[in-house]
Amino acid sequence: MTTLITGVGLIGTSFARFALDREERLVFVDSEPRTDYLREQLGDANVSIVRRDIRDLPALIQTMRDFEVDTVVHTAGLIGARVAEALYTGLQINVQGTINVAEAVRLSGVRRLVHVSTFGVYDRTKEGDVPITEDFPLGGSNPYSASKVANELMVSTYHHHYGFELVILRPANVYGVGHFWAGSGGGATVQQIIEAGISGEMLRMPPTRDFEYVYAKDVGSAINQAATVPAPEQIAFNVGSGVITTFGDLVEAAKTALPRLSIEPTEGGSPTPAIRQPMDLSASASHLNWKPQFPLEKGFQDYAQELGSR
């Protein structure tokens, strides 16, 4: 059995660790694969790397056919403000790239597509006081969210029209040892905090907005479940912690894991309103047999150990 992963990034490599434990054959597709990061994440694991852009449909089809791919895990794309830096290009990568992945899955006879979306697809203007389930209204209030909503609509349409298996995952703000080339501001901020805790140097930064966080290893295990469980009737699933974390919570958890940490809040911060509702994880538990294993303090401790060893 072979799984193709689009994107040599934090989420794809976190899943790859679980797939390798199952002795799955893996092939990464990335236009600019960071082989040093891949080596840091997976060591000397025997994986294939194909240097191709997801906007190149013929290359995707050829790769899936050459490697006789059974499952595709789609993680590639730009995140956050990176989408808006050059909007046409950002949407080409995120939306057209995803359409190409779905079309290549169809034409290559791939059994299952696991599409990694985001909790950013939810329309937060409609927030209430209870955890958000997967049937909560979607809405794209910025280019990134709009592209991810569009992606979910596209892959769902392909699934219903052509019949391949589909699982959509909506992770919260993912943190873990990464290179953050794609634009994960939240992930880069957490890594700054962990690095400061390891070094003991004072970190001056504006407060972050309230967020729901999830550790990359938990996301990796969720993808692994999505790729291997019998095809669930439900398509979309929340992947988070079920907890909203304030900046104060974030700092306290980091100080517990890293007592040398010293942070001085500065003026500024995100103008985006804080989110109030965490995600409901009950569907992921019942259909994917998945629950997060890393509460924030435990995640930070593991993160610091891994980052420090590098």
Rounded Cα–Cα distance for residues 128 and 121 (Å) = 16
Measured CA to CA, the distance from residue 252 to residue 250 in angstroms comes to 6
DSSP 8-state secondary structure symbol assigned to residue 116: E
Does residue 215 have an active-site annotation? no
b/e sequence 105-129, b meaning 16+ C-beta within 10 Å: bbebebebbbbbbbbbbbebeeeee
Tokens, residue 83: 């989408």
Cα–Cα dist 310/307, whole Å: 5
- Out of 122, 144, 158, 303, the active site residue is 144
Structure tokens at 92: 């080409």
Strand partners of residue 263: 203
Least Cα distance to 18 among 227, 284, 169 occurs for 227
**Pair of tokens at residue 88:** 């046409």
**Residues designated as active site:** 144
